[in-house]
Amino acid sequence: MGDIIFGIASIILGVIGSWGLYWLLDRAVRLLPIIWQEKLRAVSFLLPAAALLLLVSFLPLIQTLIWSFMDARGKKFVGLENYIDLFTSVEFLGILLNNFLWIVFVPAITVGVGLMFATLTNQVGPSREKIFKSLIFMPMAISFISAATIWRFLYTYQPEGRPVIGLLNAIVEAFGGTSQPWLTIDAGRLNSFLLMIIVIWLQAGFSMVMLSAAIKGVPEETIEAARIDGASVRTIFFKVVVPQIRGTIMSVFITVLILVMKIFDIVLAMTGGNFNTSVLGFDYYRELFVNSNFGSASAVVTILCVLIAPLMWLQIRSVRNVEENR
Amino acid sequence: MKKVLHKLSGFKLGTTLMLIILVAIWSTPTLGLLLTSIRTQDSAANSGWWTALADPLGTEWTLQPYINAINGGMLDSLLNTLIVTIPATVLPLIIAANAAYAFTFIQFKGREIYFASLVALMVLPLQSALIPVLRGFVWFKQTTGIELIGNFPAAWIVHSAFALPLAIYILRNYMLTLPPSLLEAARMDGASYYQIFWKLVMPMSIPAIASFAIFQFLWVWNDYLIAFIFVGEQKPVMTWKLMRMLGQYGGGWQDVAAGSFISLVIPLLVFFSLQRYFVRGLTAGAVK
């Protein structure tokens, strides 16, 4: 009961407090001479956001970069040692390989599946379209942890002699195979691929919704013209529709790519990073909470940031494009 | 476009059938867990959920797993999740709306550069800030005596900060579409920038605010990492609880399943009732 009251009180206080903060800032600026008022007007609206970003996101990033060159307790400067240790460890190279596989497969397949759903649902009439789309889109509302619960149950393995309760093993047995503890099998990184399926399952709805909206925006004349010229359905789709929605395809691809590079929860909840399924986002967590190594954890996250940096540039560029087309 | 595609394919029934099969495949994993959550411990451990589906009348259905999950503290966790989620949705929205207003309507030096760095921050991984922020909170405790770690405000602060870049971006995009003439008229009438923001721009931006609010609500509700690090076991949220249940196994799959579905109720309600706004937000670029 105390928590409920505390919660409600803090929500009300928070809202009034932040509103009051902006009111105070406005008052403060108005006390200044006119010239300063003009110069500081933006500040009274930006200050809280700037302070928060500086203190909780930008300065900590710099601190993390510095720590990546320090020892486990963040006390002594050790140069490149953390990085050398990482890049000479077979385990870490395996982690990079996993990240690479995630990057290669998940965004492309998610776009492909989304495109398939988008074209199919566009053909069945508005009422059916709505139902199908809702069902495919539903996993978007599910947390990574709940999704992991759902899929761990699907992949679950019972020791021999016990009845099969996992769907995957039931299907395998129905086709004459034997039950396997799938998540422990790292041959050909099979278990990593099983984890990727979950993320594709989660994100396909997002991809479908974005691409469906884009396809609906393709002008009918272009398709009609191609049809009159005698182009086949397939040609029309790949040569007329796809080129016109390339921008959306790219933005879905980049969004899923960024998500996949930071992937963490799924690995934690499915395998705990065991059986060679670890990725950078998870390795950071392990270095920090299992090994208590600040230096190494910071180095891992720095590597992640370096890999993401080109995407920042892509992001800025795509935003510029949007602005110029406005 | 749709009309043409109809003519092109001509076999709507085939497409519908194919979609039914695909959607069935897509829903099967969830359905399996849902059915398991209403089975007895004995049957869930000793037979596949599909056997219950094949013989619904001969199966013993029960709500016991839900009772177990609730007795295990799932409702308290639901409350904790709500207390984390609501302020972590409202606060960044107010802060971001103010900042977006400045970026859209007020000229200041370096505006473009600041905005570009904001866009860059959008893709920054959360992990890059965790240890220093955690240390900062410890320092804050030492200097002021206020304990943030293990309490809700810690999660609000971190969630707010990491929501800001995207929120500012989306709200600014929307504010750019508001008619500038309206604002000029208000200036002529002697309204201050502050009044224009609260009386004019904020109410007019409601559609964008709604889209982002839904998105942020789902994001915070489903988050594990920030809740784990900054709130932890003192005030366990649902993702934390669920993770714990997954690790223990003891109770069997049906209890984990029930816990999972309790955590899904509110996001699914929000999602299905406000899907339209959510989709609008997505197509406007509301993705982390």
Cβ of B95 and A149 within 8 Å?
Answer: no
Whether A75 is covered by a domain: the verdict is: no
CB contact under 8 A, A145 and B86: no
Packing angle between helix A246-261 and helix A90-121, nearest 10 degrees?
150
Write out chain A residues lying below 8 Å of B107, CB-based: 42
Residues A105 and A254 in one domain: yes
Alpha-carbon Rg of chain A, whole angstroms?
Answer: 26
**Mind listing the pLDDT tens digit for each residue in B102-136?**
999 998 989 999 998 998 898 899 999 999 999 99
In this complex, the residue of B32, B164, B282 whose CB is nearest that of residue A210 is B282
A66 Cβ under 8 Å from any chain B Cβ: no
Low-confidence ranges of chain B (pLDDT < 50): 8, 286, 288
Subunit contact A138:B268, Cβ cutoff 8 A: yes
Give the residue from B131, B220, B221, B255 with the most A CB atoms within 10 Å of its CB, the best one to mutate.
Answer: B131
* C-beta atoms of A45 and B272 within 8 A: no
Residues A122 and A21 placed together within one structural domain of the fold: no
Asked if A228 is an interface residue toward chain B (Cβ–Cβ < 8 A), one would say: no
Residues A231 and A124 in one domain: yes
Stated pTM of the model: 0.93
Contacts of B223 in chain A (CB under 8 A): 143
Domain identity same for A175 and A260: yes
Same domain? For A174 and A251 the reply is yes
Contacts with B, A 183-202, CB within 8 Å: 201
Which domains are assigned to chain B? 2-62 (no CATH), 72-283 (1.10.3720.10)
Number of domains within chain A:
2
CA–centroid distance for A211 within its chain: 18
Task: Determine contact: B41 vs chain A, CB below 8 A.
Answer: no
CATH of residue A261's domain is: 1.10.3720.10
Q: According to the model, what pLDDT value does residue B103 have?
A: 95
Alpha helices (H) along chain A: 2-30, 34-53, 59-67, 81-87, 90-121, 126-137, 144-155, 167-174, 190-216, 220-228, 233-235, 242-244, 246-261, 265-270, 280-289, 294-324
Are residues A146 and A29 located together in one domain of the fold? Answer: no
A103/A63 same-domain check: no
| C-alpha distance from B270 to closest chain A C-alpha (Å) | 9
Per-residue pLDDT tens digits for A203-212: 999 999 989 9
A221 lies in a domain? yes
* Residues A137, A58 share a domain: no
Its ipTM equals 0.91
| Same structural domain, A288 and A210 | yes
Question: Is A73 a domain residue?
Answer: no
pLDDT at residue B288, as a whole number: 45
Domain boundaries, position A295: 81-324
Q: Specify whether A239 is located in the same domain as A169.
A: yes
Same domain (yes/no): A197, A270: yes
In this complex, which of A49, A61, A284 lies closest to B96 when CB atoms are compared? A49
Answer yes or no: do A41 and A100 share one domain: no
